[in-house]
Chain A
Amino acid sequence: MAKELLKGNEALAEAALRGGCTFYSGYPITPQTEVMEYLSDRMPEIGRTFIQAESEIAAISQVMGAAWTGEKALTSSSGPGVSLKQEGISYIAHNNFPCVILNVCRWGNGLGSLDSAQTDYNRETRGGGQGDYRCIVMAPASIQEGVDMMYDAYDVAEEYHNPVVILTEAMLGQMIEGVNLPEFKPVKKLGLIRPYGRAGKDYMEKYAVHYNRMVDELERWESIQTEDADYVLVAFGMPSRVCTDVVSILRGKGEKVGLIRPINLWPFPFKAFEGIRPKAFITVETNETGQLVDDVAIAAKKSGAGDVPVYCLATHHECADEEAVLDYFEKVKSGSVKERY
């Protein structure tokens, strides 16, 4: 059967329902609004709860309450809206409540702009709110991959009792691709959740076990032709698609180039870097200052690859095209750009 053509935002919204989502609360913001718009119609149709909250803070608070009682809760927003939700996310993580947060990322600090970007990498992978916790962060590179992630997100969130953030990009939310939608999962609710409790020795011991399990079990990535690579590109989401093309182009010219594509951004896929010995790593990111590059530098060191230089091509508010990556690659080879680490 032919795949269904679906817009990214709508496809992920439907996938959430098929994966078991029973409760949504959110507040509109471009480029995410189609998620809400779709759910506002679809959730009442199948007997699930949709709320357009009065603010982002109300939305995340409602998600926390719903998650506490065992509902499979979802909220979605973009950069500025997810910032407003951080206090709630911190409470949710502290209390080991599972839920899913979708960030359709747009460029920017402050209000930012409507451009597609990856500027929220650091916030999502470092917990984002007050305290010391992490969200499991997944970053799809295609609408189908986003659908598959969203479909399984409640299983992951409930298995690890932790919030899951799905970090997409404006372009991925607005574009259309062919998608196979999975069947509806039977909804099994957890029931009332018992939080780990207030901070203290007991809490810290429980959280350490919880944290280590996520780190040990949730690395996910795709490696493309890295085994013999002299240069390894590292990119996630939309730039990773461009880098896939660049690897083919450069391999066609006899250059030994590969790509590591982190699929889960947290925990970071350190294992992807084990056993490879390139001359350099090059990150390609849609932001200003480079964020992924910091994790790649740690990964390079941790892998035992020695003092391998790590470069960063940060292309501001526009996703890099093949020419930009090829041009930067030549500069790395000729030594005319400086490594970040």
Chain B
Amino acid sequence: MKEIIFAGFGGQGVLTGGLILSFMAAEKDLETTWMPAYGATMRGGKANCVVKMGEVGGERIGNPLMGHADALIAMNEPSLDYLGKTKKGAVVIVNSHGVDENYEYPSDKKVYKVDSVELAEKVSNEQGQNLVMLGAMMKVTELYPKDEAIDLMCKFFASKGKEKYNEKNIAAFLAGYDAV
């Protein structure tokens, strides 16, 4: 079972970012859960979701809550509060635009810094910061091969009637993928 936390401020696309991961798993016939931060935290302040995915077909997912994540995508500094919910050796993708460069990370995490704002602007997709982070995470964790991940991401947006943005979204994904 894989567990990934996608965290940031409301509006940074963290819930959608997590949903794309769940969609990818479901398309591969794997069990998956997507649990949003629930309650007042959804309005403007901290937002997060935790996604769990089976690794083989039929693997049942018990507790859907955050606990021992394999990866944390942190779009801002408060998201680093969830470092305690990650495993030893977990991958942490940090948005360097939103986190103090002198932040001291625990030594047992593999930290990758990605400026999602600058990279998203560079490909003229300011709203695609979550996809920049998703691309970086995909490369580091090797969750799915690049082309398969891109196909599934495009399928996700198509399922929401948003396939016309696929080209811009691929550019954002690749900007992150190539930055780590």
Contact = CB atoms under 8 A, between A and B. Distances in A.
A103 interface: no
Contact of A2 (B26, B60, B63): B26
B22 interface: yes
Contacts of A245: 62-63
B22 A176 contact: yes
Interface string B22-36: 110111110111111
A171 B38 contact: yes
A175 B26 contact: no
Interface string B2-32: 0000000000000000010011011111011
A258 to B, nearest CB: 15
A8 to B, nearest CB: 10
A57 to B, nearest CB: 27
B179 interface: no
Given A2-B29, A321-B67, A176 B34 contact: yes
A152 to B, nearest CB: 22
Given A5-B26, A115-B39, A177 B32 contact: yes
Nearest to A176: B34
* Interface of A: prevailing SS: mixed
A175 B31 CA distance: 14
B40 A114 contact: yes
Interface string B56-80: 0000111111010000000000000
A242 B25 CA distance: 21
Contacts of B22: 5, 176, 178
A55 interface: no
Contacts of A3: 26, 29
Nearest to B29: A2
A248 B40 CA distance: 34
A241 B64 contact: yes
Interface size bracket, A side:
20 to 34
Nearest to B27: A2
Contacts of B29: 2-3
A31 interface: yes
A242 B63 contact: yes
Given A177-B32, A244-B60, A321-B67, A114 B39 contact: yes
Given A5-B19, A116-B38, A244-B62, A176 B33 contact: yes
Contact of A170 (B28, B31, B38): B38
A86 to B, nearest CB: 26
Contacts of A178: 22, 25-26, 31-32
Interface in A202-227: none
A321 B64 contact: no
A80 B28 CA distance: 41
A242 B63 CA distance: 5
6 closest A-B pairs by CB:
A245-B62, A176-B34, A242-B63, A178-B26, A241-B62, A244-B62
Interface of A: 2-5, 31, 114-116, 170-171, 174-178, 238, 241-242, 244-245, 248, 319, 321-322
20 contacts: A2-B28, A2-B29, A3-B26, A4-B26, A5-B26, A5-B34, A114-B39, A171-B65, A175-B64, A176-B19, A176-B35, A177-B31, A178-B26, A238-B63, A241-B61, A241-B63, A242-B63, A245-B63, A319-B63, A322-B67
Given A177-B32, A242-B62, 15 more contacts: A2-B26, A2-B27, A3-B26, A5-B32, A31-B38, A175-B35, A175-B64, A176-B35, A177-B34, A178-B22, A241-B63, A242-B63, A242-B65, A319-B63, A321-B65
